[in-house]
Chain A
Amino acid sequence: MIAVLTYKPYIRLRKIIVVMLAAIAIALPQSSFAQTGVPESHVKAVFLFNFTQFTEWPEGSFADGNAPLVIGILGNDPFDRYLEETVKDERVQGRHIVIQHYKSIDEVKSCHLLYISEKDPDKVSEIIGALKKPRMLTVSDCRNFTKIGGMIGFIKRNNKIKLQANPTAARSAGLTISSKLLRVSEITD
């Protein structure tokens, strides 16, 4: 087969093959479960769920012992129904998890975790400024999210979703992000 490829008319084919091989070669080392062939949104959805386990909400965050933990999505829902699926039968500290969708910031009721689905940092900055709701973990995949006051941001490195965390922002909201989570995140204060 290699011999075939040396034939002149197949030079173009050879180029394609080389590119494909290169792409595969680049893609192969990723033995990570989460991220080979898994859509980004799914990963983020799982991460969101996981955040709930690595965050401590203070006293008074819940009405009572049975009150559910609310995850709010502000803006477009990038997860489709995947987030609902993920959290369906799960419990966090014995609480159910409820997903709420908000179209605008006014709709944002008290939720425990707010996913801001907006890419524009200026807009996100506005949103954060307008939120003023304590005990709410803010998450976004907007660029420099944590630098502009967000608590946990998704970033992409080497084709993998990594985390950025701003524990100070979280603390000022009364939240405690587990050091385990912080350890696997890039800290920006």
Chain B
Amino acid sequence: MLTSGIVLVITCATFTVYEYFSFRESARDNLATVGKIIAANSTAALAFDNQEDANELLSGLRTEKHIVAACLYDENGRIFAKYPPNIPDDQLPMAPGRVGFRFTDDYLEGFQPVIEQVVPLGTLYLKSDMEAMYERLRLYSLITALVIIASFLLGYIVSRRLQKRIIRPILHLAATSRSVTKNQDYSVRAEKTYDDDDELGELTDAFNSMLSQIESQNDKITSFNQELEEKIRKRTSELENANNELAVVNSKLIKSNRDLEQFAYVSSHDLQEPLRKIRTFSELAGRNPGNREATQTYINKISSSAERMAALIKSVLNYSRLSKADDHQEWVDLNKTIDEVRTDFELLLTEKNGQIIKEELPVVLGMPLQLHQLFYNLVSNSLKFADKDPEIRVSARRVAAKDLDLPKADHLFLEYHEVRFKDNGIGFEQIYADKVFAIFQRLHDRQNYPGTGIGLALCKKIVENHNGFIKVQSELGKGAEFYIYLPVL
């Protein structure tokens, strides 16, 4: 705008200056022409001394409003006729001057000789003001100013229209692409202004189709990602499941290992004694074959040792058989179980004058045979270690898992049935609370209290098979309280 404005101003100024000079010249030419015409027509008036005609001729200059004064001089240089008629003589040159028209101050004036054929008859004087020229110049300046203003206005309007039609769409495209990049939103599309098929419209279309491509690619990538993530999740959860299963299997294997260890312990320890007896007494019997009494004693001892070994092995096998939790689970009413156990020990209870007092017991999900074995062993244990009339009390309540001080971290159930089995036997020191559940761990020797030492271990196994726990509290001389926790299902 500035450049074109300057160019415009310079052009107009140059033009005006040119016009100024050109106008001056043409004004001079015009005046000279007028002068020649009047001079030519005034020859007769001068020749024949006809002032009326001369004045009439000059008065025709009325129509030329820029001629302010004129006069005719006779051949002696005296004023013959003048215009305007009333102009005072001192405003006219006293005598004719140099031929030709020139600019003086604000006027154009000069002299034209009046000649008929070759005879000089006088001189014409004309004086014109420059108003015409000034008017012209003023007009030119006005036009220049108007042209400049109009050009600026037009330029401004055109540039605005250009802006709208060209620049704004471009800026819009740029802004759209920026926002797409910033927000990573590929669903944005650039608007097409004016909806026509010019180059900018094409550009916008190309831009939009590019965005569509990007968007679809992006969607593909995203969905691929999601599929992958899904697959990963599935695999991970599969892995987790596998791991969990493995962990379970692992713990079971550990248990089995422990059982095997214990089994090995038995075979290396508890079985050794009877085996040693068999070997000893076999050897002794071989050494004294003639002594029938001795031999009979030896054979009896060998026989009882063998039986002892058989009993041990049987109980271990029994224990091992119960390593696995049976798949076959059913609802077992513990009240019935206790009644059946009571029936099993009917004779012994009568003999020892014992009783089993039971309160309301729950129904649990489990293996009936194993649960029977559990309570059978407990009752057997209590009756064995009773020093007075045995009194066994069985009761149950529900407890929340979080209220229990559970040994292991892998408890899975929120609520447990707590079955309390209390006897009034000889009891034992609390420090042996864990030991009593270990296989073949006996607190007393076999002389006083018979048994394989496997009964409570079996109880623990059975309770663990049912996802439960067993604890015992005891005091020497004050009996024992067994707490059996079975999950509420």
Residues of chain B in range 40-60 having any CB-CB distance to chain A below 8 Å: 41, 43-45, 47-51, 53
What 0/1 readout, one digit per residue, does chain A (146-186) give for beta carbons within 8 Å of chain B?
Answer: 00000000000000111100000000000000101101110
**B119 interfacial by beta-carbon distance below 8 Å:** yes
Task: Report whether A54 and B49 are in contact in the complex, using a CB–CB cutoff of 8 Å.
Answer: no
Q: Which of B49, B51, B117 contacts A92 (CB 8 A)?
A: B117
A33-B80 Cα distance, complex, nearest whole Å: 7
**A43 interfacial by beta-carbon distance below 8 Å:** yes
Task: Find chain A residues with CB under 8 A from B116 CB.
Answer: 50, 53-54, 180
A178-B43 Cα distance, complex, nearest whole Å: 11
Q: How many A-B residue pairs have CB under 8 A?
A: 58
Q: Which residue of A lies closest to B56 (CB)?
A: A183
**B78 interfacial by beta-carbon distance below 8 Å:** yes
Task: Find chain A residues with CB under 8 A from B121 CB.
Answer: 50
**B464 interfacial by beta-carbon distance below 8 Å:** no
Q: How many Å from the CB of B104 to the closest CB on chain A? A: 27
Task: Report whether A33 and B44 are in contact in the complex, using a CB–CB cutoff of 8 Å.
Answer: no
Task: Find chain A residues with CB under 8 A from B48 CB.
Answer: 47, 50, 163, 181, 184-185
Interface size class of A (residues with CB under 8 A): 20 to 34
**B75 interfacial by beta-carbon distance below 8 Å:** yes
Task: Report whether A33 and B119 are in contact in the complex, using a CB–CB cutoff of 8 Å.
Answer: no
Q: Please report whether the interface of chain B is mostly helix, strand, loop or mixed according to DSSP.
A: mixed
A163-B80 Cα distance, complex, nearest whole Å: 18
Task: Report whether A32 and B117 are in contact in the complex, using a CB–CB cutoff of 8 Å.
Answer: no
Task: Report whether A54 and B44 are in contact in the complex, using a CB–CB cutoff of 8 Å.
Answer: yes
A91-B74 Cα distance, complex, nearest whole Å: 20
Q: Which residue of A lies closest to B41 (CB)?
A: A180
**B216 interfacial by beta-carbon distance below 8 Å:** no
Task: Report whether A180 and B119 are in contact in the complex, using a CB–CB cutoff of 8 Å.
Answer: no
Task: Find chain A residues with CB under 8 A from B117 CB.
Answer: 53, 92-93
Q: Which of A33, A53, A160 contacts B78 (CB 8 A)?
A: A33
Task: Report whether B79 and A178 are in contact in the complex, using a CB–CB cutoff of 8 Å.
Answer: no
Q: Which of B50, B75, B118 contacts A33 (CB 8 A)?
A: B75
Q: Which of A35, A46, A91, A181 contacts B118 (CB 8 A)?
A: A91
Q: Which residue of B lies closest to A162 (CB)?
A: B50
Task: Report whether B119 and A90 are in contact in the complex, using a CB–CB cutoff of 8 Å.
Answer: yes
Task: Report whether A31 and B79 are in contact in the complex, using a CB–CB cutoff of 8 Å.
Answer: yes
Q: How many Å from the CB of A4 to the closest CB on chain B? A: 35
Task: Find chain A residues with CB under 8 A from B43 CB.
Answer: 53-54, 180
**A34 interfacial by beta-carbon distance below 8 Å:** yes
**B76 interfacial by beta-carbon distance below 8 Å:** yes
A35-B51 Cα distance, complex, nearest whole Å: 12
Task: Find chain A residues with CB under 8 A from B119 CB.
Answer: 50, 53, 90
Q: Which residue of B lies closest to A47 (CB)?
A: B48
A46-B49 Cα distance, complex, nearest whole Å: 10
Q: Which residue of B lies closest to A94 (CB)?
A: B118
A92-B115 Cα distance, complex, nearest whole Å: 12
Beyond A33-B75, A47-B48, 12 extra complex contacts between A and B, CB < 8 Å: A32-B49, A32-B51, A53-B43, A53-B116, A54-B43, A54-B47, A161-B49, A163-B50, A178-B44, A181-B48, A183-B44, A184-B50
A sample of 8 cross-chain residue pairs with beta-carbon separation below 8 angstroms, ordered by A number, consists of A31-B78, A34-B49, A53-B43, A53-B119, A54-B44, A178-B44, A180-B41, A184-B50
B residues bordering A, Cβ < 8 Å?
41, 43-45, 47-51, 53, 74-76, 78-80, 116-119, 121
